[in-house]
Chains A and B, each alone.
Chain A
Amino acid sequence: MEDKEQFGLGKLPDSAVNNTSELFAEEDSKFTKRDFEATLIKASQRIKKTKPSPRPS
């Protein structure tokens, strides 16, 4: 195995390199959206349950 500094064109700057954070950023944003939607559904169900029934006139 070559020395890291001697590999190919040498040590590349971060801007030229892929990063694993991109993988999970995408995954996290999906989870966030899904979680957000689930929260909205739960909240709407709670509102329905707690809504007072109309009083008899």
Chain B
Amino acid sequence: MAEKITPDHIKERIREILMEDEWSIRQESAPRAIWAFVAEDRAGRKIVVGQNKGREDQVIIQGAVTIDEVTSNRLGQLSEEEHNNFLWDLRFELLRTDLDFNGIEMPLKRIEVKTRVFLDALAKDTFLIRTSQVRKGVLVILWMIAKKFAQQPPPKQLGFQR
């Protein structure tokens, strides 16, 4: 009879795959998880991988970006129209990644992206493709913010108002 695959088996397999792919990993606690790892790439971008209680048939790969106070203030200085346009652009860019996302609302505090792999598809190739998707999702968020503020917006109060 075949040995039953437990979350511990999955955890060890994921640890092996991530380390082979040169991620540095550490164990982390997450509220709903049986186990979770934070994995960091060479550039220091973080993603979290784990399995949720009651959903042992899948592995979740998640990434998040917290908006710091300085960035939040910069966003707050944009006009309402510009702010809304930025949020729409961000939503459409994230839709292209095929990831689920959360937190794109005013005021921006934390934006999260995630995907999942079911155990019946948990091959190294599939897992690393999804991992890469989540990392790209994190980069989309970070780089769209960086691009937005690559040039300081002009002060709203300067000049004549029509």
A13-B46 contact given A18-B63, A20-B142, CB 8 Å threshold: no
Docked complex: B1-49 residues within 8 A CB-CB of A: 28-33, 36, 38, 44-46, 48
- Per DSSP, chain A at the interface is mixed
- The answer on a CB contact under 8 Å between A10 and B146 is no
Taking A4-B102, A4-B103 as given, write out 20 further A-B residue pairs in contact, using a Cβ cutoff of 8 Å, ordered by the A residue number: A1-B102, A2-B102, A4-B112, A7-B114, A9-B31, A10-B31, A11-B31, A12-B112, A13-B28, A15-B28, A17-B64, A17-B66, A17-B110, A19-B65, A20-B67, A20-B68, A20-B70, A21-B68, A21-B71, A23-B145
20 A-B contact pairs sorted by A residue (CB < 8 Å): A7-B100, A8-B60, A8-B114, A9-B31, A9-B62, A10-B30, A10-B32, A11-B31, A12-B28, A12-B30, A12-B62, A16-B36, A17-B66, A18-B63, A18-B141, A20-B65, A20-B66, A22-B142, A23-B142, A24-B149
CA distance A14 to B44 in the complex (A): 14
Contact of B112 among A7, A19, A20, A27 (CB under 8 A): A7
Contacting pair A17 B65 (CB below 8 A): yes
Q: Which 7 A-B pairs have the closest CB atoms?
A: A10-B31, A21-B68, A9-B30, A8-B114, A10-B32, A8-B62, A20-B71
* Band of interface residues on A: 20 to 34
B interface bracket (residues with beta carbon within 8 Å of A): 35 or more
Given contacts A17-B64, A18-B138, A20-B145, contact A9 B52 (CB under 8 A): yes
Complex CA distance for A28 and B160, rounded to whole angstroms: 32
B44 close to A12 (CB less than 8 A): no
Q: Which of B31, B52, B146 contacts A5 (CB 8 A)?
A: B31
Task: Specify which of B30, B64, B68 lies most central, judged by the most chain A CB atoms within 10 Å of its CB.
Answer: B64
